[in-house]
């Protein structure tokens, strides 16, 4: 009886999932790359944050938040068309940066007036998922931060020089 009850709890979730295709993943990779571009270390696109975002949205977000995120992708593209008369994917790096800076200001203002229970602004979701996806990826952990696979003894006082990478 107990084992049967336990196993019936292992059914997969049947809730609707936001549908993402390869074009959506490429779009989200470019948004991520604009937020965390390649410099001395690879950027967000190299860590495939677009794929990470789609998995997180489908597996961890409520249906309401999934809808906000998915519709937000369209809003971001519409904003690009309104501001630069071109789809986001056709903009150059400078235009993409300008666009996302404006959206970041917009989301900060929206979060100030957000009520409990309301979903976050779509760009905030994208930005948070970009950072989470990048810094938990192998690239973000091993190349953007100082990676120590097995830390040794505890050292409470380690010299720090301005510009040093954080430990992973």
Q: What confidence tens digit (pLDDT) does each residue in 60-112 have?
A: 999 999 999 999 999 999 999 999 999 999 999 999 999 999 999 999 999 99
What's the rounded Cα separation, in Å, for the pair 106 and 135?
A: 25
Closest CA to 131 of 105, 91, 104, 151: 104
> Hunting for tokens 């696979």 — which residue is that?
149
What's the rounded Cα separation, in Å, for the pair 146 and 131?
A: 17
Q: How many CB atoms lie within 10 A of CB 53?
A: 28
What pLDDT digit, counting tens, does each position of 117-167 carry?
888 999 999 999 999 999 999 999 888 888 877 767 777 787 888 888 877
What's the rounded Cα separation, in Å, for the pair 93 and 30?
A: 10
Token duo for residue 146: 């100082």
Closest CA to 36 of 23, 28, 26, 45: 45
Helix (H) or strand (E) holding 145: none
**pTM given for the model:** 0.80
Beta partners for 146? 167
Whether residue 148 contacts residue 168, with contact meaning beta carbons closer than 8 Å, is answered with yes
Confidence tier at 57 by pLDDT (50, 70, 90): very high
């Amino acid at each position: 009886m107990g084992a049967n009850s336990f196993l019936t709890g292992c059914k997969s979730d049947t809730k609707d999932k936001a549908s993402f295709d390869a074009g959506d993943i490429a779009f989200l990779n470019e948004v991520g790359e604009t937020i965390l571009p390649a410099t001395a270390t690879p950027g967000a696109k190299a860590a495939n944050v677009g794929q990470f975002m789609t998995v997180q949205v489908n597996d961890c977000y409520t249906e309401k938040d999934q809808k906000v995120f998915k519709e937000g992708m369209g809003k971001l593209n519409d904003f690009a068309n309104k501001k630069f008369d071109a789809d986001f994917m056709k903009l150059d790096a400078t235009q993409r940066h300008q666009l996302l800076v404006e959206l970041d200001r917009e989301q900060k203002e929206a979060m100030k007036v957000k009520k409990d229970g309301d979903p976050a602004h779509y760009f905030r979701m994208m930005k948070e998922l970009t950072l989470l996806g990048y810094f938990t990826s192998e690239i973000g952990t091993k190349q953007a931060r100082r990676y120590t696979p097995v830390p040794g003894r505890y050292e409470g006082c380690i010299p720090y020089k301005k510009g040093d990478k954080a430990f992973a």
